[in-house]
Amino acid sequence: MKMKAEKIFLSLLFMGMASADLLQNPDFESPPANLKGNSTSSFMLLSQSNEVPGWTFEGTIQYVTASQDTSLLENGHAIQLCQDGKISQTFIANGGITDYVLTFAVAPGDRNCSHHVYVVISVPHSTKVFSLKQQYGKETWERYGHYLGSWGEGEPVNLVFQSIRVESNPNTKCWPVIDSLLLKSVGTLSDANDNLLPNGGFETGPDFLSNSTGGILLAENIPSAFQSPLKLWYVLGTVKYIDSKNFFVPQGNAAIEIVSGVSAGIQTEVILKKGSKYSLEFTLGDANDTCVGDFVVGAQTGSTSQNFSLASNGTGSAKKFSLTFKAKTSATPISFLSYTTIQTRDGVYCGPVVDDVVLRASYGMKLEMQLKVLIYLYILGAILYFLWR
């Protein structure tokens, strides 16, 4: 019964909806008109008369076809942003005031040149640079989640992907290749029972790509929980957004795995009653991704921090922890930071999983509230008594 109630609650909480149809040809599977079927080359230079449906471009762009001799096998076809390469598409926002979160896959044009490959994603009033300098997975492709912005019904949004030239040789194969774009609109979160952290279970984040098993990387974003792909939390360092289909997730469909080591993690801020006591409960674990080691996670509430340890044998474990604290200020930051850098035998960066974070007014405060209600009722009763007399 409790499980069922939890499920209903979770589905109510998960207000985001996938909007794959917001973008036209998001995986570049509709080819340019004169693509030769028997072309032996995996890379085809596009010209103004030979565009990819749905997209406009500038500079040097190549249409990439997966073949046996290439590691670029994300989804059949992709786009390489070469020198001064830029592709764009305008989509129309289709909800009330809604946040838009993008998932995309990116790879260097050649397996041997992941360094110094950059992709710039921009929309009106926002630009973000993604670097492939640090490879977190074992595949050539990395998937990222990115907060684009917030727009109202009917607003046109021009989404642009472009390359940056960082190497002296412009003929390099190393230019970035992008694929599998997935745009999601995220509505407001409903109140999560008496949890003061509405997205404490991390169920609202970027959409997972159906053809990918490795999770989605979330790069450090500006310290605003309102401009993050992970609703209400911002990211320090790099974390991985993991799904229950491919990883061990302690609660619901998604959780956070802190993968980039020392002082990386997630943070949010809540408005609390100064001087009152609160309890913070959370689950730490491992994602069942062969991540073996001793995890140390610092849970910070306001200006105080406490470390929690968990020994992982990498087969999927979870343990609940809790702490109580007194709010010293009304705006109180809450964060979970990892103090360990671990790689699996395959060289995949991994680390502690955080999930199911619940913040509540502690028992003392509940009593205080009950007392206030009692006093209020007593005064009301007294007034009524005098009025009736």
- Residues in the site for Ca ion, rule: CB under 5 A? 201-202, 251-252, 255, 355
Minimum distance from CB of 115 to Ca ion (Å)? 34
Minimum CB separation of residue 265 from Ca ion in Å reads: 16
Identity of the residue, 89 or 251, whose beta carbon is nearer to Ca ion in the bound complex? 251
Q: How far is the CB of 235 from Ca ion (least distance, A)?
A: 16
Are the C-beta atoms of 321 and 308 separated by less than 8 Å?
Answer: yes
Report the nearest approach of Ca ion to the CB of residue 244 (Å): 8
**In this complex, which beta carbon is closest to Ca ion, that of residue 202 or of residue 234?**
202
CB closer to Ca ion, 64 vs 359: 359
Which is nearer to Ca ion, 206 or 252 (by Cβ)? 252
User: Nearest distance from residue 1's CB to Ca ion, in Å?
Assistant: 21
Look-up of token digits 């050649």: 110
Contact 339, 296 (CB under 8 A): yes
- How far out from the chain centre does Cα 30 lie? 28
At closest approach, how far in Å is the CB of 103 from Ca ion?
Answer: 18
- Least separation in angstroms between residue 118's CB and Ca ion is 32
Which one, 27 or 203, has the nearer CB to Ca ion?
203
Cα 20 to Cα 368: distance, rounded to the nearest angstrom: 49
List beta partners, residue 301. 304, 334
Q: How far is CA 370 from the centre of its chain?
A: 39
Q: Which residues contact 348 (CB under 8 A, 6 or more apart)?
A: 136, 137, 138, 214, 289
Residue 77 or 184 with smaller CB distance to Ca ion: 184
Q: How far is CA 34 from CA 45, 78, 364, in A?
A: 12, 16, 72
CA distances from 142 to 23, 94, 310, 363 (A): 21, 29, 28, 45
Distance CA 79, CA 180 (A): 10
Integer Cα distance of 105 and 213 in angstroms: 12
3-state secondary structure of 4: helix
Q: Which is nearer to Ca ion, 196 or 255 (CB)?
A: 255
